[in-house]
Each structure stands twice: as C-alpha cells, then as structure tokens.
Amino acid sequence: MTPFAELIERLVFTPSRNAKLRLLTDYFARVPDPDRGWALAALTGGLEFPAVKAGVVRGLAVERVDPALFGWSYDYVGDLAETVSLIWPKRHGANRVPSLGEVVDTMREASRSTAPALVAGLLDTFDTNERFAFLKLITGGMRIGVSARLAKVALAQYGDADVAEIEELWHGLEPPYEDLFTWLDGRAPKPSIDDKAVFRPLMLSHPLEDGDKASIDPASYRAEWKWDGIRVQVAALGDQRRLYSRTGDDISGAFPDIVEAMDFDAVLDGELLVYQDGAVQSFNRLQQRLNRKTVTARMLEEHPAWVRLYDILFDGSEDLRDLSFDDRRQRLEQWIGRIAPGRMDLSPMIDFPDWQTLDDMRSSTANSAIEGVMLKRGDSTYVAGRPKGPWYKWKRGPLTLDTVLMYAQRGHGKRSSFYSDFTFGAWRPGEDGEPELVPVGKAYFGFTDEELAQLDKWVRGHTVERFGPVRSVAPDLVLEVAFDSVGRSTRHKSGVAMRFPRISRIRWDKPAAEADHLSTLEALIVD
Amino acid sequence: MPGDFFVDPVRPAGRAVITHGHADHARPGNASVLATDQTLAIMQARYGDQAGASLQPLAYGEPVEIGEVSVRLVPAGHVLGSAQVVLEYRGSRVVVSGDYKRGADPTCAPFEPVPCDVFITEATFGLPVFRHPPAGDEIAKLLNSVALFPERSHLVGVYSLGKCQRVIALLRQAGYDRPIYLHGALIALTELYQRLGVQLGDLRPMADVAKGDLRGEIVLAPPSAIADRWSRRLPDPVVCAASGWMRVRQRARQRGVELPMIISDHADWDELLATIDEVDAPEVWVTHGREEALVHQVTQSGRRAQALSLVGFEDDAVD
C-alpha cells in the first residue's frame, strides 16, 4: 500500500503531463504484480467496492474521535477522506502494512455487514497518506487528474509499445492485468483477445491548413459532413455489445437505447448525436446524456440518441480495415441496406468539384449540427492514430466576440508564476442604466508564450483587487475570443455558456467601451 | 504583572522579554530587551539599530530578578536561540512557551519541559488533523524526487529564520553533500547561523549561477518567491514547500506546491497534549492558533483551560 499511497500523493499535486507520466512509469517499473495492476485499475476507474459507503467511513471516525474535535477538523479540512486520514488515532502495535493487492482482495470480499470492521482494521495499520489513498480507493473517484488515456500512454512508454495496441487490448483484459505487464516486460507474447467486442483504436484526422489545399487533389478525396456530436465506436460481436468513446472508454451504460439497437455483428465508426423529429439536435442536448453511468427513462425519451455512421471496421468477424475507404464505404452502404439497424443512419457524402465549392458549402450551411466537413482520401486504409495525409477535418470558421478582461488567475506547473487563466465579460445594461460587465467565459489558451508574458505584465499593472490566486483588473483590455458555439446555461450569471472558448487576439488597440454586448452573444445561441 | 515587563510585546515596550527572533514575536523599538544571545544576534541582524536601546543577553537556565519576579529562559526547540520564559513570583510558577516543538532539530537546543502552575501554550497546530510525520521522511521525499527528475531543479519554499537552516541541516544529515543554492533573502540569517556554530556545508547564492547549471540542484527561497516571477530563473522547477501547513492538501494546492514537505517548527497536536501532560499545570492558557479545540481537549482531561486571545497575530503564524 505504501508505494501506491506515495504515487497518489505525488500525482495529486503534479500538474505537468510529462511529470505524471514519469511518476507512473517509475511506479510500474518498481512495483511488482499484482499491485501495479490493481493501481492501474484504480486509476482507470476499473475498481469498485459497492460494500463501502462514505457514511461508513464517517461513522467509524466519530466512534474513534471526539465528535466536537472531528467537527472542527472537518470544517477546517473540507474533505471527508482527508479529514479521516489525518485524524485517525494511531494504534501502537498495529500489524504490518498490507500490500495493495491484499487490500483489494480483502475489500472485494467484504459485505455491507463486514465492511466497517475491515475498514477500521486497515485504517489502524496505515499511516496518514496510506489512509487517504485507501479511503479514496474504496469510496470511488480518485480524482487525481489522471485520465484512463494518460494511464495507457504511461503503459505504452513503460513497455515501449504503441498506445493504440494497448487501447485495442484494453477491454479484453481484466485487472490486475498481469498478462499485459508480462507482455510489456518482454517476458511473454502480446495477450490474445480474439472474438471479443474490444475497442479498435480510431483513425483520426488533421486540421486542413491553408497550405494543404494546394498540394492535394480534390478528385482523390471524398467529403462528408463533420457532425457535431461525439465520435464513437459501435462494437457488437456475439453476445457482447459495447459503445466506446474516441479514447476507448466504455460508455454503453449511459446509452441503453443505442445498445438495444445493436442486434448485429459488426464494428462501426460514427458520430453519437441526439436525434429528434427527423433532425440532429444541438450538442447541448447531447451533453445532457454524457458523463453518466446510468440514464433515466425520462432522459431517454427527452434526448433520444442516434449514431450517424461514417465507416465500417468489421462485418461479422471479417476485418475490413485494410480495404480502401471507397471499398469500405461501399461495404457500409450494403451493410446498412442488409441490416437496416435501428437508431442509426448513413452519413451522406458531399459531391464537390473543387475546393471553392466545398468551402462555400462548409461556410454557408445553416445546420448548426454541422461542425464542418471531413475529407478522406479514397484509397486510405483504416489505421489507428492520426496519420498525416489520408484524413483532414475542415471546420467552419469559429464565432468570435470582443470581450473585456475581468479576472486573471495564476496557472499551474510551468505557468504557476503567470496569470494565465482569464475570465472575460461582455457589456449589458446595469440596474442604474449604465453599462456593466458580466462574465461570459474563461479561457487559458490561444495565445503565444510571448503574448502570455505581455498579458501577465498587464494584469500585474492593472490589478484592482486580489482574492488569493485571483486578481480583478481594471476593465480596460479587450480580448477577442473565438468559440465553437454558445448555449444557454443556468449555472452562469450571464445565462450563457461558450463551447471551447480560446483567446484569438489581444486587442491592445480597442477601447473597452467598444467591446461586444451580451445581447450579441445571446443572438448566437442554438438550442 | 509585578515586574513591569512584557513577553513578546506587539507594541514597543519599556522592558521586553523576547522568546525568539521571528518577526511576530520579536519586534523592533523596545527600550530594553532581554533574550538569549542568539535571539539578540538575530534581532540585530534583522533590525540593526532598532533591535532595542539596551540589549541584555541571558543564558539558558540562568535566573534574573526583574522587580519581584524571577525570570529564567529555557530552550523551546523552535529555532536557534528560542526560549520559554519561566516566571516565578511568590511561590507560583508560570511558563510562557513561546513557539515550540518537540521533534529533533539539528540547529537548536531541544525543548525542556518545566513543571508549572500555569502553562501558557501556543496552539498553531491545535487541531487533531495536524500530526507531523518524521522530518527525515519528508527530506527523503525530496531526495527521491531529485533522483526521479534529474533534469529539473527543486525549489523549496522555507521561512528565512529557522526552517531554511533546519532543512539544510536535515539534508546534510541525510547525506546530501552537493552545494545548496539560496535566494538572496535567505543568506544573511543563514550566515549568522554558521557564525553561531551551526554546520550547514557548501551553500551558494543562486544569483551567481546560470539557469542551466541549476538542473538537478536544490534551491531554497522564501515562500513568497516560489510561485512568482522570481522562480522563472530556474529550469522547470519542482515547486516544494516545507511547512506544517502542507499537511492539508487544499493549502498546498492553493500555493501551487507540487511537492509538499510537512516539516514544522511548531508542536503538532500530539506534542501539544504530551507537553501539557509533562508540565502538569493545573491551569492552561492557550494562545496563537486554534484555541477552541485545544481548550476543549485539555478541559476533558480535567485541567482548567482558557483561550487567551492576543491581538496582532495572524491566523497563519510563521511556520
């Protein structure tokens, strides 16, 4: 348990992605099986202990500690697991600290009635950091800034493998992943995962840059709309049906409507959307259904899910990935004709004679569910990752708004000495009739390092008030903000929320009074 | 008080007894100052002429009469020269702890418990969530990180008096013999420690060193500098901080600390309670910190206890 607790402790405070990778690969190299595999499962959300609830932990704490002292401490610390880990009284002569594997075994066998005593016994053997890691482990949600994707990248680095290989294996493997580590250590061949509805890493595209158009021939590329949902893989083989996100997270649980429609044997690539009254609905509607483990009947009815199919990877057990895009497209059309799947349809192709026509179509479509167009070379095979050349995405130009900088916050890691997170506002009529600023969004990228240094200097020179790491600044600097769309939001004071906002230009020249008004932003809302 | 003097006065006084050199205890401008010779040296280094019109050194354990009160200084284990003030008047003994700790510190004399009738204790870490781990383990965390990130520098936030020199001494105890680099604000007091006989090894001003040469090195700076513009002079620093406040994650995160090191010069909860039991005072006055929890706990154990609220002290005492 000790190395795991040390790892968690470091990861909690480490902002940099590279440093996190270093900590993870170091851990995988130092710690034996099965502990490193259990740690991997904990970090990727693959471990659950339903017998333990947060209430149990709190109950144990107030049995051991004076309730008044516990109350003051909890008020001060603010996090239950952390408070308990700090306040738990030492027991002399406690047992040897068990390994992570032993802890997992113990807790997996626990029932609701035996769990409290087991938890108390383990807390007695641990030190503060071990208690914290243990409590986070058993009450779910490590929330330490390590995504499943990052853990897989660390595995790839550790074993000098391709992350696509690990993603492909991932859902065919079980914790504590000993076969995976044995392979990464070079002591056994790659685990075999045939005939399972595992995730096949997606083929991704590069943005089309201005220079690209001159060097590629439109006749060799096919175009289709880029739909504004989330990219998914539909994998149904035998009795297994799974819906995967772009990074290989299994999101089947949140989309039982799609899973029910998967009564076929195939692996498909498509866009997950909300589809109602014969039309694709806004991304905002889809968002209601994302990041959930389960879904209510009401949500299923209000926001029905749909998959618009782009590609076919497997027809039954036949692997089509080595076929050309044109051949796969033909197979996809035939497959849809043959199977007629529910809750799915074909993404239509767009005919275009030249770039200019496509550009006009891309820019002029009134359909807010379209993000732009995709270009796929007719002879391209389906390869994992993001090869340069075969696929391009060509997004519609972003929306922009001239806003006024209101607050700046210190960044993290390399940016900890810079004010790098910016909250900006738009004008609206105040109660006294004078215009006032209301925050409309926050962005922390879009600028160069040199511009960041200038912004940091400006913030320091125009600070009006400080609140811890945040400064409010004089409303004098105009920032042009680019964003993909804007929706209504009850969580923001302005009533609007931008999607993917970034600083597109610093308007040193523009007087703040001439920045945009909230009404301009409201007019861009899509529901 | 009979004797007409003040312990650690917040405003200039005619006669002051100073427990130790931290700025929230030792303030400038007193007419006459009684303290250990190390504390007086620290005050002179900090305040020059303003340290006090008349400076009277008093060795540990040596009694002096002020009016009808006998005054004696006893080691507090907090920083170099730090003292408890033992006051005796008509057969009663009051001990003012000043700031203290019980853990080992190679840079100062260890705390000596003095049985008394009234014990006035600090309570900076007067909540049971504050339990300081062994300082050696925290130093090991730092050294492991230096080994894991050899291309980065490690920048450790330390208070300039006490923590800075203790962290250096602990690194030396752990066998770390590379040069340790110091922010300019740390140099004067560190040199004073060396002059007063504390061995700290090879120390260098950071200002003289090229950025690239600090890869793999340990640099110490005041807490205010670790996450601000000054730190840009260092190659991709791992920001560390050595303080008892680092025990609470949210505190560490707010300060942008990547490697919190829980090293404190104040007693933790267990040390506060153990000390109160050792001095066995029937009456305990609690000051400097989270008084309510400690008063509650001491009262439960059958002693009289009360909070002694002092003005002029910040919530986050120097640690």
Cβ contact B149:A413 at 8 Å? no
- Inform me whether the C-beta atom of residue B166 falls under 8 Å from chain A C-beta atoms: no
pLDDT at A525: 83
Handedness of CA B182, B187, B193, B194 (dihedral sign): positive
Tell me the percentage of chain B whose pLDDT exceeds 70: 96
A215 burial type by CB count under 10 A (0-12 exposed, 13-18 middle, 19+ buried): exposed
Q: What is the pLDDT of residues A405-421, one digit of tens each?
A: 999 998 877 788 899 99
Is the fold of A2-139 the same as that of A399-522? no
Output the pLDDT for position B1: 53
- Which chain B positions have a beta carbon within 8 Å of A416's beta carbon? 227, 231, 239, 256
Tell me the C-alpha to C-alpha distance, in Å, between residue A342 and each of A126, A277, A307, B37, B185. 53, 15, 9, 87, 71
Q: Concatenated DSSP letters for B108-171?
A: SPPP-----SEEEEEETT-STT--PPPHHHHHHHHHHHHHH-TTS-EEEE--TTTHHHHHHHHH
User: In the predicted model, is pLDDT for residue A498 greater than 80?
Assistant: yes
At B203 the pLDDT is: 97
How far B259 CA sits from the closest chain A CA (Å)? 7
- State the CATH architecture for A399-522: Beta Barrel (2.40)
How many angstroms separate the Cα of B243 from the Cα of each of A130, A313, B39, B86, B289?
20, 56, 22, 28, 15
Domains, chain B, with CATH or none = 6-129+266-307 (3.60.15.10), 135-261 (3.40.50.12650)
CA nearest to A467 within chain B? B254
Residue with tokens 């050595």: B242
Cβ neighbours of B297 in A, within 8 Å: 66, 69
What pLDDT, on the 0 to 100 scale, is given for residue A94? 63
Checking if the pLDDT of A296 tops 60, the result is yes
pLDDT at residue number A139: 85
User: By the CB < 8 Å criterion, does B286 face chain A?
Assistant: no
Q: Do B258 and A66 touch (CB under 8 A)?
A: no
pLDDT at B243 over 50: yes
> Superfamily for A2-139?
DNA ligase, ATP-dependent, N-terminal domain (1.10.3260.10)
Say whether pLDDT at B312 is over 50: no
How large is the ipTM? Answer: 0.92
Active site residue A510: no
pLDDT given at position A527: 62
Give residue-wise pLDDT tens across range B99-116.
999 999 999 999 999 999
pLDDT at A193: 75
Question: Which region among A177-186, A235-244, B25-34 has the lowest average model confidence (pLDDT)?
Answer: A235-244
Quote the mean pLDDT of chain B.
93
* pLDDT at res. B46: 94
Average of pLDDT values for A367-375? 88
Q: What is the pLDDT of residues A163-173, one digit of tens each?
A: 988 988 888 88
Q: Give the amino acid at B244.
A: G
The minimum CA-CA distance between A521 and chain B, rounded to whole Å, is: 33
Q: What is the residue extent of each domain of chain A?
A: 2-139, 206-395, 399-522
Mean pLDDT in residue range A276-297: 87
The pLDDT value recorded for residue B311 is: 47
Over range B160-183, report the average pLDDT: 97
pLDDT computed for residue B310 by the predictor: 59
* pLDDT tens digits for range A4-51: 999 999 998 998 899 999 999 999 999 999 999 999 999 988 788 888
Residue A415 has a pLDDT of: 82
- The token pair that represents B192 in the structure block: 């004073």
pLDDT tens, A297-317?
A: 999 999 999 999 999 999 998
CATH superfamily of A206-395: DNA ligase/mRNA capping enzyme (3.30.470.30)
Hey, are the CB atoms on A86 and B129 less than 8 Å from each other?
A: yes
Average pLDDT, chain A: 91
Average pLDDT value for residue range A158-180: 92
Which residue in A298, A252, A300 sits closest to A274, CA to CA? A300
pLDDT above 70 coverage of chain A, percent: 98
* Cβ-nearest to A78 among B250, B297, B300: B250
Residue A454's SS3 state is: helix
A64 contact B CB<8A: no
Q: What distance lies between CA B260 and its chain's CA centroid?
A: 18
* pLDDT number for residue A195: 58
For the segment B263-307, what is each residue's pLDDT rounded down to a tens digit? 999 999 999 999 999 999 999 999 877 889 999 999 998 999 999
B149 with A19: Cβ contact below 8 A: yes
B residues 230..269 contacting A (CB < 8 A): 230-232, 236, 238-239, 247-250, 252-254, 256-260
